[in-house]
Structure 1
Amino acid sequence: MTSRKKQHLPSKICPVCERPFTWRKKWERDWENVKYCSKKCSKTKQP
């Protein structure tokens, strides 16, 4: 991924807190599988 401005980064909505979150460098290789915005949300995920 090339350098982008923050406003042009891809984003998703967290199914737990329902807030939007944007792409992060640490998710670069696994962005397709990222579902939750934080570790807290992934621990409290709904069945």
Structure 2
Amino acid sequence: MVRKSDLPQKTCPVCQRPFSWRKKWESVWDEVIYCSKRCRGEAKKG
């Protein structure tokens, strides 16, 4: 079992918070930029 602290992390460019790898992002981890739909929307606004 892998601990959450051992998973890869990225920093969201909108809110500047770190977010961890998720199983649903397994095949697209290189393409994931934002931590949430909210941050994606904020980035497109301005």
Matches within 5 A, 1:18-29: 18-29=16-27
Normalising by structure 2, we get a TM-score of 0.88
Question: How many residues end up aligned between the 2 structures?
Answer: 45
Which runs of no fewer than 5 residues in structure 2 stay unpaired? Answer: none
Q: CA shift at 1:5, angstroms?
A: 1.0
Name 1:11's counterpart in structure 2: 9
In structure 2, give the amino acid aligned to 1:26.
K
Any idea what the Cα deviations from partners look like across 1:1-47, whole Å, max 9, x if unmatched? Answer: xx411110000000000000000011000000000000000011166
Normalising by structure 1, we get a TM-score of 0.87
Which aligned segments of 4 or more residues in structure 1 are displaced greater than 2 angstroms? none
Instruction: State percent identity of aligned pairs.
Output: 53
Which runs of no fewer than 5 residues in structure 1 stay unpaired? Answer: none
